[in-house]
Amino acid sequence: MLYWISFATVKNFLGAVIIEADGALEAVKLAAARGLNPGGEALILDIPEKHHSHARRHMNHLYRDRAEVQRLFGPSGTNEEAAEVGAVTVCEKCNSPQ
């Protein structure tokens, strides 16, 4: 499965990455192991199959510029919208970038 992970603090967007993994929490661990987890809260979304072709072209790269993320992937929604589609979150305290 492909996962979109967005990292942020209360005040700042820290980055986003697309990772292939067997589960959402494994995706966060793989991002950390590959040096692609800048810390902060992690919001993890399963990428629908119909978007895999586009997503695969951008895997395993940490995008830190919010404008570039919006240009490549479109505007992001709110946390409430993410919850409606089954997003998983890992709190800032629990997300270890190592």
Q: What is the pLDDT of residues 53-90, one digit of tens each?
A: 988 999 999 999 888 888 887 766 555 555 556 678 88
* Number of domains the chain contains: 1
Contact 19, 60 (CB under 8 A): yes
8 falls within a domain: yes
27 falls within a domain: yes
78 falls within a domain: yes
80 falls within a domain: yes
Question: Judging by beta carbons within 10 Å of its beta carbon (0-12, 13-18, 19+), is residue 97 exposed, middle or buried?
Answer: middle
| Three-state DSSP class for residue 3 | strand
Residue range(s) defining the domain that contains residue 39: 2-90
- CA 78/CA 98 separation, integer angstroms: 27
15 falls within a domain: yes
pTM of the complete model: 0.86
97 falls within a domain: no
Which helix (H) or strand (E) segment is 6 a member of? strand 2-8
